[in-house]
Chains A and B, each alone.
Chain A
Amino acid sequence: MAQIKKERVPPGIRVALAMLGFYLVLKYVVRPPLPFSVIFMYMCMALAGAIMYLTLFYNIKDAVITPLYTFLGGGVEGGMAKGGRYAVLVAMPLLVWFGSYEKFNKKMQPPLDSRVIHPAPPVEFTGLYNPYRVEDKELFKKYVADGKEIYYRNCIFCHGDLLNGEGIYAHGFNPKPANFQDPTVLPMLQESFLFWRISTGGIGLPQESTPWSSAMPRWEAMLSDEQRWKVILFLSEYTGFSPRTWE
């Protein structure tokens, strides 16, 4: 019978190191960052898996419980280990104290208005096509130039000269103006959606989008249908993003 290869590292330590590595991956590698509650859930599942592994392949008592008990109980030998034990015994109560103090000392925060940024438009604003998106290249170019003038006369103060939502008044409004240079904005929206938002502005939003906070004017009171469609042409030509089409 082949001799069983002797383990170089105790199984408990190997499992602990694996769990630490998994935690570091969840915290620092996964993007966008995971909220604490999700990390906690994954770590609980990993812990359950670790316990099953140790139970199936090792005596969990000998691998984990006895060393832990011995360490905390004071049955360690050697100055380094004794020092480590005392450090742990002192650190744990202090960490618990500061952790729970932090929880109880939470500063009150104003209530946050969660909002739906891109709600469904009303039926009269669905399925519309931009009548100024024409085949004639010269005519199209003229329409874009008209749209540019409309943007610079009306939209630049909030959406900015870079079309990045950082105009000179942007910092005073909540929510902030849209950043048209962001690839998750124009390419995700249909032109009829844009036409709706430009036409009815903030007050045309449904309740779930907090219409009481939006500074977006109701442009249908100030700009004609033609002007509103033309400015949409300018947005897509200047940024290089094409609005989403109907599938």
Chain B
Amino acid sequence: MLITAIRKYGLPLLLILGVVATSGQAEEGAPAEPKKAEEKKTEEKPTVSMELGKAIYEKRCLGCHGPSGAGDGPAAERFKPRPRDFTRGLFKYKTTAHGSVPNDDDLVRVVTRGLPGTGMPAWQSLLKENEIRSVVQYIKTFAPQFASETPKQITIGAEIKPSKESIEKGKDLFNKVGCIMCHGDEGRGNGPLAPTLKDNWGRPVQPRNLTKGWVFRGGNAPKDIYTRINTGLMGTPMPSFASTLDNEKSWNLANYVNSLSQYPGAPDWKVAVVAKPVTGEVADDPDDPRWAGLEQHSFPLVGQVTIDPRMFTPTVDMVTVKGMYNAKDFALLVIWDDPTKSVATPAAGETVPEIFDDAVAIQFPAKMKEGNEKPYFIMGDPAHPVYVARWTAGTNKVDEFNATGTEVKVGLRIKPQEESHWQFKGKGTYKSGQYRAVFKRALTTEDKETDLQIEPGKFYPIAFTAWDGSNGERDAQRSLSAWYSILLEVPASKDRFIYPTLFLLVVVGVEWWISRSYRNGNGNGKQK
């Protein structure tokens, strides 16, 4: 009976399902990237040897770590943090006790996985394990300690899973034990001791921003953080807390630090700021409670490394943006971390460099063009100016200018706008290592010819740029973003419910008609 039914009526079922499946198909994604062809090689036994390690080091590692492992390769000058100087035997990320040399697996792990947020890549994509172990043996020859010392492994006790109670206890410890003095009350690296810190080479160092777990170089899982708390970071002011905190306290503190991260994993980078419509006035205060409910959009910022004068070691590495608008105005809230609040201060003698204003800016094309042509993203070019609104910490105000790019070896080509023509109003606050600045402006202006007009439902190019004045950032030397988009989102139309319902009724009607005509015997092949 079942077979008979399938034989008799299986065809229409298959046809119908096939048609429905086909019509519901979404647009295909981009073609997969072709993979590098695997080279055929005779299988030889992998060996670990000093000769192999030396050859690999000279080909792969010397460019950053230098010919004698002193961290002075040609790339070193422009990296922050600088490549490791192996000669002192001070290694930061390991599972051995403070003061001890790392074990081989510690070094292999660093080479294999790399250190996120630094120039050290994950070498596993290019080197086999025996090659990595060989280069590790060679690296150990740079530090005399490896010859005379035995690694002392730390012990990690029973795990305490993250929980509300554990995190609360961890927070108390964070304050009590003194983490707050360097890492700051909310963990953004803005503690009172932060400006004074130096590493064993006498270079200024910045405490880790604990809200950015995705660039914890030793990993951001609670166990990884526990290990860091236990071992400290040799060569830096980060001490070991092995003798201060027992197992339970270490886990509680690690759970708290892990909970500070803004994102579960890597940031959810966006391609557009989507501003939401609001009733009533648009906010002009960074602390307006309505900002809290709006969606955040994060964008990476990187150094301006394209046109001299360049900036290879910028401080600000991302901005987070929220937007709202009404029929008359729109406002953007721009949020970024900066461990120091900087206001322009002249240099004081030889040892204290000049400090500039902290600032952030938003950038638009001065003229919207048909098609997709835009000004050069690094503040425009001679033929395509950009319109920039800049909030400055020193004045706590927004000024505006047009820019046509950067004069090589000189700086930005800026044409300030007269204050009477400024459209944006702004206000900023600084708290616990974080700035929040509002940029507010009318959607349309009286001068339709030269001013930017913003229309809901359309995308406009926008880019962001930031300066940390304590890091010597000013003018062309800054961090910046690529072009992104801003959209004032129009609420979704009811069409998305109306048309599907109409289509559904049509299909139901057709089904009903077929049933009725079959029952009435009007169709061919009547059964009975």
Contacts and interface: CB of A to CB of B under 8 A. Distances in A.
A149 B37 contact: no
A172 B198 CA distance: 29
A16 B64 contact: no
A230 B522 CA distance: 84
B527 interface: yes
A134 interface: no
Interface string A6-47: 000110110011011001000000011111100110010000
B125 A12 contact: no
B377 A213 contact: yes
Contact of A97 (B271, B374, B500, B526): B500
Contacts of A184: 34
A162 B28 contact: no
Interface in A115-158: 148-149, 151-153, 156-158
A32 B28 CA distance: 11
B372 A76 contact: no
A89 B381 CA distance: 62
Contacts of B23: 99
Nearest to B480: A172
A236 interface: no
B300 A171 contact: yes
A76 B75 CA distance: 78
A111 B126 CA distance: 36
A65 B524 CA distance: 9
Contact of A173 (B118, B302, B408): B302
Contacts of B123: 162
Interface in B12-56: 12-16, 18, 20, 22-29, 31-34, 36-37
Given A71-B9, A212-B374, A33 B504 contact: no
Contacts of B121: 160-162, 164, 166
Contacts of B16: 88, 92
A35 B28 contact: yes
Contacts of A13: 7, 10-11, 14
Interface string B293-317: 0000000111101111000100000
A215 B372 CA distance: 18
B348 interface: no
Given A172-B302, A212-B381, A215-B305, A36 B120 contact: no
Interface stretch (B200-208, B229-237, B325-333, B482-490): B482-490
B260 to A, nearest CB: 22
B305 A69 contact: no
A198 to B, nearest CB: 13
B305 to A, nearest CB: 6
B373 A88 contact: no
B18 A157 contact: no
B2 interface: yes
B117 interface: yes
Contact of B25 (A39, A162, A182): A39
A221 interface: yes
B482 to A, nearest CB: 4
A247 interface: no
Most buried by A among B2, B60, B485, B500: B500
Contacts of B523: 69, 73
Interface residues of A, number: 98
A151 to B, nearest CB: 7
B73 interface: yes
A95 interface: yes
Interface string A43-56: 10000000000000
Given A111-B459, A212-B373, A95 B24 contact: yes
B175 interface: no
B78 interface: yes
Contacts of A43: 22
Contacts of B27: 35-36
Given A71-B13, A111-B372, A16 B18 contact: yes
A166 B300 CA distance: 14
A161 B120 contact: yes
A206 interface: no
B499 A161 contact: no
Given A78-B5, A203-B381, A181 B14 contact: no
A36 B483 contact: no
B525 A149 contact: no
Interface in B340-373: 372-373
Contacts of A202: 306, 376
Nearest to A39: B25
Contacts of A89: 511
Given A35-B27, A158-B305, A222-B308, A73 B73 contact: no
Given A33-B28, A71-B13, A168-B119, A101 B500 contact: yes
B8 interface: yes
B151 interface: no
Given A101-B500, A105-B492, A221-B408, 11 more contacts: A35-B28, A69-B523, A70-B9, A104-B499, A153-B74, A158-B305, A168-B302, A172-B302, A181-B36, A182-B36, A183-B34
19 contacts: A10-B11, A13-B10, A16-B18, A61-B524, A68-B12, A71-B13, A73-B523, A80-B5, A105-B492, A108-B459, A110-B272, A111-B459, A152-B63, A157-B303, A161-B120, A162-B123, A182-B36, A212-B376, A215-B306
Interface of A: 9-10, 12-13, 16-17, 19-20, 23, 31-36, 39-40, 43, 61-62, 64-78, 80-81, 84-85, 88-89, 91-102, 104-105, 108, 110-111, 113, 148-149, 151-153, 156-158, 160-162, 164, 166-169, 171-174, 181-184, 201-203, 207, 210-213, 215-218, 221-222, 238
Across the A-B interface, the 7 shortest Cβ-Cβ residue pairs: A73-B518, A32-B31, A172-B302, A152-B63, A110-B485, A12-B11, A104-B496
